[in-house]
């Protein structure tokens, strides 16, 4: 199978500190969290505005834990993640991602609204018709990048690894300007909301780029 390409207008992500106890509750046995500090793991929220894919345009929200990458022959990835909840704005996108990538999904469509301002981007997400989260990230300097990441998936059929190349213009900083509001929603049922620090220690924003997925590797 060849590379699968997803073009995006924007992707924003925030890395938030949350307790390793919480990370372990969402990780399957055998996958360890990458700890930022002793006892503190990294909750990554990634929100995509895809404008090109096999299933058309759609929005996607990913809740993930940053985990150690698998070291193999070839280039070392920038980082790796275990997505434990993925939500999309369309049924077609959801079915495609479950079938091809074995990603664990929120099984209803969500609404994602992107608010672009001069130096910041906000994404508002609704699930079941009610606000689930709002995340704002701020820009820094922009650089064209080609970064490799890994994503681990696990479902009843087995464990999988996706190698994903992100290409496009990227802004990244640790200025602690952004913010997340996590609402009391079933969408956030796996989180202890009071224990997620509301300011991301790292904010990333990519625009006018693409994700290139290698064929899924069964582990």
Partner 1 sequence: MEAAQKQAAEKSGFSEYDYSNFYYGAGDDPINLLRPYADWYREARPNGYYLYQEALGSAPTTHVRVKNGSTGAWQDLLNLASYNYLGISYRPEVKAAAVAAVEKYGLGASGSPILSGTFDVHEEFTAELARFKDKEACIVFPTGYSANVGFISALMRSGDTIFLDQYSHASIVDGAILAKSKTIFFRHNNPLDLERKLANVKGKKLVVVEGVYSMDGDMCALPEILEVTKRHGARMLIDEAHSTFLFGPNGRGVAEHFGLDKEVDFHLGTFSKSLGGQGGFVAGTKDLIDYVMAFGRSRFFSCNLSPVLTAGLLAALRIAASEPQLRARLWSNVAYLRRRFAEEGIDIGKSNSQVMPVMVNNDAKVFAVAEKIQNRGLFLNPVTFPAVPKHKSRLRISVSAAHTEEDLEQAVKVIGGALREEGICR
Say how far apart CA 108 and CA 103 lie, in whole Å.
14
**Minimum CB separation from partner 1 for residue 132, in Å?**
23
Q: Looking at residue 53, what DSSP letter applies?
A: S
- The span of 42-50, 94-102, 138-146, 183-191 binding partner 1 (CB under 8 A) equals 138-146
Number of residues that bind partner 1 (CB under 8 A): 43
**Minimum CB separation from partner 1 for residue 180, in Å?**
15
Spatial CB neighbours of 212, under 8 Å, sequence gap ≥ 6: 3, 4, 5, 164, 165, 167
Say how far apart CA 209 and CA 194 lie, in whole Å.
34
- Applying CB under 8 A, among 96, 170, 202, 207 the residue interacting with partner 1 is 202
Residues 16 to 55: which contact partner 1 by CB under 8 A? 17, 31-32, 34, 37-40
**Minimum CB separation from partner 1 for residue 128, in Å?**
29
Spatial CB neighbours of 131, under 8 Å, sequence gap ≥ 6: 124, 125, 183, 185
Interacting residues with partner 1 (CB under 8 A): 2-3, 17, 31-32, 34, 37-40, 67-76, 78-80, 140-141, 145-148, 163-165, 172-175, 201-202, 212-215, 217
């Amino acid at each position: 199978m060849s590379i699968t390409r997803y073009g995006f207008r924007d992707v924003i992500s925030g890395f938030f500190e949350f307790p390793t106890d919480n990370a372990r509750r969402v990780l399957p046995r055998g996958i360890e969290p990458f700890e930022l500090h002793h006892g503190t793991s990294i909750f990554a929220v990634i929100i995509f505005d895809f404008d090109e894919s096999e299933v058309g345009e759609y929005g996607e929200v990913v809740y993930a834990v940053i985990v150690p990458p698998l070291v193999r022959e070839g280039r070392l990835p920038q980082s790796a993640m275990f997505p434990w909840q993925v939500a999309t704005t369309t049924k077609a996108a959801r079915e495609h991602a479950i079938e091809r990538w074995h990603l664990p999904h929120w099984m209803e469509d969500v609404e994602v609204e992107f608010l672009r301002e001069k130096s910041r981007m906000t994404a508002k997400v609704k699930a079941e018709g009610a606000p689930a989260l709002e995340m704002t990230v701020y820009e820094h300097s922009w650089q064209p990048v080609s970064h490799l990441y890994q994503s681990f998936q696990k479902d009843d059929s087995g464990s999988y690894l996706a190698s994903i190349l992100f290409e496009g213009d990227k802004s990244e900083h640790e200025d602690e300007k952004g913010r997340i509001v996590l609402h009391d929603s079933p969408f956030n049922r796996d989180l202890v909301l009071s224990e997620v620090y509301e300011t991301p220690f790292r904010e990333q924003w990519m625009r006018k780029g693409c994700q290139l997925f290698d064929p899924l590797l069964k582990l």
